[in-house]
Amino acid sequence: MVNITLKDGSVKQYEPGITVMQIAEDISKGLARVALVGKVNSEVVDLAKQVNEDVTLEILTFDSPKGQNAYRHTTSHILAQAVLRLFPGTKLAIGPAIEQGYYYDFDSKHTFTPEDMLKIEEEMKKIIKEDLPLVRKELSREDAIKMFKEKGEAYKVELINDLPEDAQISTYIQGDFTDLCAGPHVSSTGKIKAVKLMSLAGAYWRGSEKNKMLQRIYGTCFPKKSDLEAYLFRLEEAKKRDHRKLGQELKLFTVMDEGPGFPFFYPKGVVIINELENYWRQIHREWNYQEIKTPVILNRQLWERSGHWDHYRENMYTTIIDEEDFAIKPMNCPGAMLVYNSELHSYRDLPLRTAELGLVHRHELSGALHGLMRVRSFTQDDAHIFMLPSQITEEIKGVIDLVDTIYKLFGFEYHVELSTKPEKAMGSDEDWEMATNSLEKALQEKGIDYKINAGDGAFYGPKIDFHLMDSIGRTWQCGTIQLDFQLPERFELTYVGEDGQKHRPVMIHRVAFGSMERFIGILTEHFAGAFPTWIAPVQVKILPITERQIEYAKQLVQDLFRAGIRVEIDKRSEKIGYKIREAQLEKIPYMLVVGDKELENRTVALRKRDEGDKGAVDYQEFKEELLKEIENKL
């Protein structure tokens, strides 16, 4: 008998040779119906995989990332089979699963069209209905090369030749279709339920411009039609919320040909920046941070000392001043090191929390640029905390609380990921282990669930990343906490301990917004441009019905302006309905309509952005309520 340890810790015994699917059926018929693949020890396998020794086993469904990956990868094979049926002679490249879907690259004499996509999708549905089993077959290198050469699949032959000599060559067969693939896959094409082809694109083979341009077809798939419909709805919502589109419509920001990746902000966009920075300064004062400001350009010796010249130079902009190499800062931390080192510190001074709204520049490839989300110049809301080793856990917990406070203000939910030592890193394994354990301890003491990203840390230390979820379910990586034993060593930072001797402090790098520009892009899409009143560029718009009310409207503008409220007046000779629609398109939180009746009674007719017409209200009461709303950041 073999012992199978399940996810809940229970142990079941079976005869050797039992398959993962048979174990799933024994556990629960319902589980077997939704099972996609299994995880045997740390390996994800087909449900047909036999178990011949003691193992741990987890049955994976679409609720798990690995289950989704197998589901989507299988659908990419169905896409390839459909294309070969409809367009014989097409050559296959690769077809991986990706986030929210899959794609397949094809080399075809036929140029695919949107009409072809509909035909291919229908053929995919036929293949799904045929419920073809996916059968794994392992081949020798020679047999695999021979088979794909006979099929004329040169791209597959190239992939096989690039595999290590001792690599296992596996294929998957579904009906008349065979593909080179490591797997795993779901058991049959019938397991796939709802499919949709999304778009066409060009893609160079292996991403190199030296290679042939292929045709890439993107698609998505879900176990339920309702899930697919919900996803497509979210995509349409995302298009409406696109911050690049709203940024132009609402006159917030733009990117010009004269500075690709370097955003320009209009006055209304600057209002949002200023409000966020004002809040940032307020909360950092409350949490005992001291604000600093460091230069944008520093010399090469500094960047060599910090490690950036060796580890990050390809992303840095450099120049020569007085025959010496300088670099525009891609990060604020080396400047903060110099500030710390400019004076002596005692253990009584620590923790020392310094914060900076620092403008940084990073060379991003032009193809990666995307509105405010991926730029070449941005303001980081950086902070660097210098502390005693004994203060590490409490300081990390404090940063977690601060970040949580900020995200809750905007109504964001988030999840946390812990990234560990990358392949290219500074420092000893012992330092990395200590740093990683400190981050884990803080997360555990805060009771926060987290995912581990092995090998994804910064080159100088492990990190905690905060991934925000917006109003339509997308996630964005914003805040981060990075624990660093390396830079204090490189910059020879010291403090005088209780024993009168010099010791090395530990440092935290930390951002909450991440980048002001990116956070504004996220906020724009999260709120669809309808910003909370406290950061709305224009908080009140006054709409006189005729010229007779303009003087009264001007008095209201002056009074609101003196109270610190951002207000505009629409004095155009347009019908009031048109003015209201324009203000709604501008997503103004409050509209005050004034006609003869309001002029006579010294009142206003109130319209709220989300609630419509609220009728006549007392002006002073409205102003007082609005000021409370702004003060409370609602």
Catalytic residues: 333, 362, 380, 382, 384, 463, 509
Tell me whether the omega of the peptide bond preceding residue 330 falls within 30 degrees of 0, making it cis.
no
Overall residue count recorded for the chain in this entry: 634
Sign of CA dihedral 219, 223, 228, 234: negative
Cβ neighbours, 10 Å, residue 233: 11
Quote the CA–CA distance of 491 and 426 in Å, as a whole number. Answer: 14
Distance of CA 271 to the CA centre of its chain: 25
- Number of Cα atoms under 13 Å in the Cβ half of residue 92: 28
Closest CA to 592 of 605, 582, 610, 574: 605
Q: Give the per-residue SS3 of 428-448.
A: CHHHHHHHHHHHHHHHHHCCC
Task: State how far the alpha carbon of 324 is from the alpha carbons of 40, 300, 301, 320, 360, in Å.
Answer: 57, 8, 10, 5, 21
Closest CA to 369 of 465, 279, 256, 464: 256
Distance of CA 1 to the CA centre of its chain: 46
Residue identified by tokens 């230069």 is 295
Quote the CA–CA distance of 487 and 305 in Å, as a whole number. Answer: 9
Strand order in the sheet with 324-328: 297-299, 324-328, 318-321
- 189 and 127 in contact (C-beta within 8 Å)? yes
Closest CA to 183 of 124, 136, 131: 136
- AA letter at 572: R
Quote the CA–CA distance of 35 and 228 in Å, as a whole number. Answer: 19
- 80 and 217 in contact (C-beta within 8 Å)? no
